[in-house]
Structure 1
Amino acid sequence: MTINGLSMGLNTTWVVLTAAMILLMEGGFALLEAGFVRYKNNVNIIMKIFADITIGTLCFYFIGFGLMYGADLFGIIGFNGFMLKGDLSHLNIPVSLEAFLLFQTAFVIATISIVSGAVAERINFRAYLLYTVLMTAFIYPVAGHWVWGGGWISKLGMLDFAGSAVIHAMGGFSALAAAIFIGPRTGKFTSQGTSSIALPSNLPLASVGSFLLWFGWFGFNAGSTLSATDGRIGHIAVVTMLSAAAGGAVTLIYTLFRYNRSDAPSVINGSLAGLVGITAGCAFVSDLSAILIGAVSGLLMLFATNWLEAKRIDDPVGAFPVHAVSGMWGTIALGLFSEKEGLFSGGGLHLLSVQILGLIVLCIWGFSMTWVGLKLIALWVPIRSTEEEEEVGLDVSYHGIMAANRSHEFIEHQDRYQ
């Protein structure tokens, strides 16, 4: 075997393993979201995640991958590579094309799962399936082409190593649009505008979900090297850990002194915010910068959560604060703290200005395309569940089963949904 062949084999093994780690994050999303929502909607959460994985994989294979990584057309979209057909030599990747597809499929599945949490407990399941097709076949691939596929933003010099902007900020603004479009859960806000707290069904379950996401994030970030011999892998893993720890620690301490108790949902989301924040710059910033990025991500997540409540926007799992706000900060922070091109390391304003421009475009794209997409979907199926379906719970309403055996509750409502 030649040296090149051995290198290709090692890299392909590395990328397949890290892709599997990212796919395991879907278990994290499922447990996190199920733990944060009410018991009567647990199965619906799981089914949406399965829709993300199954439908999302197929849509990306048939359409999305070609739009994202096909040969560039006017800096806007790719025009070949559908089902891995055609000349894709321009990618110049150090792994097999199939491994690269698998890795990128894991990314697109994670993106649609961000939106899932923001519309939990009240979206019509059929409408969600149609939106999954739209996100995985078009919205995300086009945005990804602009930054990672040779599109116009990448030509300006934007950096986003593993997706703070492309995945999290764009996906988070898509989630915000969906949450606004569909409206809050029945009874979430009073006529005076105050919030009525819907207690999470199972915080230990949510915490296990966050740990699975944390584990998968090492694949998310370190796997983006696409190389088993890349000397940055150790550094990427360390700064990922430090940023997550800083995000969780800051929220733990802040809520302890602010409210005289450490708020578990905030600490869970604070750690995730730290992970989101470091995703763009994990290969480019120092350890201390990573700690600062994570800490600020945690605080921004808390402030954004309060902002949503003030605006009467219902986001049951904190998708917008965790992903959009922390993703925005992480993208901008890279322009500030990059050890080679950042403003604070003598690199000037170029990278920072490009980061901000690209971020604005991606956020507007995610928000506007989701809004338009939901408008179009509403022409075929209702976007929102009925008040009766929401009251009974989406588990029984859409799936005819409950998360565990509560036969007396099921019998009470089953005649309406058989």
Structure 2
Amino acid sequence: MKSKLFTLSGLLAAFAAMMMVSLPAHAEVSAETTYIFNTLSFLMHGFLVMWMAAGFAMLEGGLVRTKNTSMQMLKNIAIYSTAGIMYWAVGYNLMYDGVDGGFMGTFSVWSASDPSITEAGFVAGDSTYSAASDWFFQMVFVATAASIVSGTLAERIKLWPFMIFTVVLTAVIYPIQGSWQWGGGWLSEMGFSDFAGSTLVHSAGGWAALTGAIILGPRIGKYTKEGGVRPIPGANLPLATLGTFVLWLGWFGFNGGSQLAMGSAADVRDISTIYVNTNLAAAAGVVVTMIMTQLIYKKVDLTMALNGALAGLVAITAEPLAPSPMIAVIVGAVGGVLVVFAVPFFDKLKIDDVVGALSVHLVCGIWGTMAVPISNSGTSFMTQFVGVASIGAFVLITSAIFWLVLKFTMGIRVSQEEEMMGLDKAELGMEAYPEFGRGSQNV
């Protein structure tokens, strides 16, 4: 038996030696292999970003009252579905087709074009990934921007006006401002940098949510006549916490996939760096908000800690690759500080934001974008400011126009009676927790 083992080990050693001799020390990766791994990156990171839709649904479902939970679940699955259809029908080509340093692409339906794949098999050419994989990865970002609006305007907006605005946002507003940078438009030519969308996705969604919140008005009873703020706690904080963890996980796809390649060792190294910086920024946001709320309010606020994680994630999204780990921690920590002060700031202005999305996505999106030159010498603070201001102005103006049109035509707010009843019963005719009975009628 022992001699057979020696014989077998000798054969394996000889085989390994032959393989080492027959293969070059630094074998080049073929164009087809690069194509496969780049495509895999888009698909793999894309379905992580798609999972963020579930995270938003759980977060919002946990931070609203029980009488509005079903409505938030419906809106989130409807947002994702609507975004996918509109980005195929209009959005993608408006964002990427023929921008050429300008202000938008073309109004046309997207269709896949893969010249590298022929009947004869793979042909090395200009394409380094599947066109459909790129469309899928870009599409899941659109739904994220619309989800920001959903959380801010929860508990008092009508379903169908909200869905109409979602169509406009995902088909027109988001793609046009996105084309300015990611589509090779005028901001890209200027040198503006937003790696994964602190401004193009998060603050864009935040600006749209801000205009909607101002025009829609606050929930009944949120603010007193004396200028006070009445807290309206969410119904399910465990669900909101789970939603935050799901979003945190999905963010690795959001930022990591924005490397836009996985066909080389250098790409994989950079994706790994992005993961580390993304995680550190989120962790710093949590720790800082815990410390800040303890110091200011004498108690740690769970919902603030959840938003602290998201604040760190949003802030690092504009540049998750270039920073050192220490800078990533600082960027995320500042995001956490900003959230602690931004939430009461919006309340002082009587702008009712149910889930704190304005503080997280708008404020920290701006901060993260302005912080890019700290670690990325390829841009400047002035260029970053121009990008933030121009996108903010565009989204503010266009969103306000569409919100006002909806308000003065079909109306955007439910009646006082329907709001007190809850949108689950008033708009959907069902409750998320029917066994609670009369308890779900409480304000």
The question of 1:79 aligning with 2:106 is answered yes
Structure-2 change in CA distance of 1:270 and 1:99 (3 Å): same
Q: State how many pairs are aligned.
A: 401
Aligned 8 A contact 2:202 2:361 in 1: yes
Equivalence map 1:54-73=2 (5 Å)? 54-72=81-99
| One of 64, 72, 96 as aligned partner of 1:45 | 72
Instruction: Identify the residue that residue 362 of structure 1 maps to in structure 2.
Output: 391
Aligned 8 A contact 1:164 1:280 in 2: yes
Kindly state the Cα deviation for residue 352 of structure 1 after the two structures are TM-superposed.
1.5
Quick one: distance in 2 between partners of 1:138 and 1:227? Answer: 27
Amino acid in structure 1 at the alignment position of 2:415: T
The question of 1:150 aligning with 2:150 is answered no
The question of 1:123 aligning with 2:157 is answered yes
Quick one: distance in 2 between partners of 1:88 and 1:129? Answer: 37
Amino acid in structure 1 at the alignment position of 2:45: T
Deviations 1:313-337 (A, max 9, x none): 1001001100011010000100223
Kindly state the Cα deviation for residue 141 of structure 1 after the two structures are TM-superposed.
0.3
Deviations 1:92-117 (A, max 9, x none): 66321100100011000001001100
Greater Rg by CA = 2
SS in 2 for 1:83: coil
Instruction: Identify the residue that residue 271 of structure 2 maps to in structure 1.
Output: 233
Equivalence map 1:149-188=2 (5 Å)? 149-188=183-222
Instruction: Identify the residue that residue 347 of structure 1 maps to in structure 2.
Output: none
Deviations 1:46-79 (A, max 9, x none): 1110111111110110000110011116601102
Quick one: distance in 1 between partners of 2:73 and 2:365? Answer: 25
Amino acid in structure 1 at the alignment position of 2:202: H
SS in 1 for 2:299: coil
Instruction: Identify the residue that residue 243 of structure 1 maps to in structure 2.
Output: 281
Instruction: Identify the residue that residue 15 of structure 1 maps to in structure 2.
Output: 42
Structure-2 change in CA distance of 1:88 and 1:152 (3 Å): farther
Unaligned segments of structure 2, at least 5 residues: 1-28, 117-125
Structure-2 change in CA distance of 1:379 and 1:253 (3 Å): same
Amino acid in structure 2 at the alignment position of 1:243: A
> Share of identical aligned residues, percent?
38
Amino acid in structure 1 at the alignment position of 2:55: G
| One of 337, 340, 348 as aligned partner of 1:299 | 337
Kindly state the Cα deviation for residue 149 of structure 1 after the two structures are TM-superposed.
0.2
Kindly state the Cα deviation for residue 199 of structure 1 after the two structures are TM-superposed.
1.3
Aligned 8 A contact 1:184 1:313 in 2: yes
Aligned 8 A contact 2:293 2:340 in 1: no
| One of 417, 421, 441 as aligned partner of 1:392 | 421
Aligned 8 A contact 1:95 1:226 in 2: no
Quick one: distance in 2 between partners of 1:329 and 1:77? Answer: 26
SS in 2 for 1:385: coil
Structural RMSD (CA): 2.0
Quick one: distance in 2 between partners of 1:49 and 1:406? Answer: 24
Amino acid in structure 2 at the alignment position of 1:40: K
Kindly state the Cα deviation for residue 13 of structure 1 after the two structures are TM-superposed.
1.3
Aligned 8 A contact 1:70 1:88 in 2: no
Structure-2 change in CA distance of 1:411 and 1:217 (3 Å): closer
SS in 1 for 2:364: helix
Kindly state the Cα deviation for residue 258 of structure 1 after the two structures are TM-superposed.
2.0
Quick one: distance in 2 between partners of 1:257 and 1:251? Answer: 10
Quick one: distance in 2 between partners of 1:271 and 1:297? Answer: 9
Instruction: Identify the residue that residue 434 of structure 2 maps to in structure 1.
Output: 405
Aligned 8 A contact 1:170 1:365 in 2: no
Quick one: distance in 2 between partners of 1:155 and 1:129? Answer: 34
The question of 1:267 aligning with 2:305 is answered yes
Aligned 8 A contact 2:101 2:180 in 1: no
Kindly state the Cα deviation for residue 405 of structure 1 after the two structures are TM-superposed.
2.4
TM-score by length of 2: 0.87
Aligned 8 A contact 1:69 1:81 in 2: no
Instruction: Identify the residue that residue 416 of structure 1 maps to in structure 2.
Output: none
The question of 1:204 aligning with 2:255 is answered no
Aligned 8 A contact 2:64 2:233 in 1: yes
TM-score by length of 1: 0.92
Aligned 8 A contact 2:39 2:133 in 1: yes
Kindly state the Cα deviation for residue 378 of structure 1 after the two structures are TM-superposed.
2.6
The question of 1:313 aligning with 2:351 is answered yes
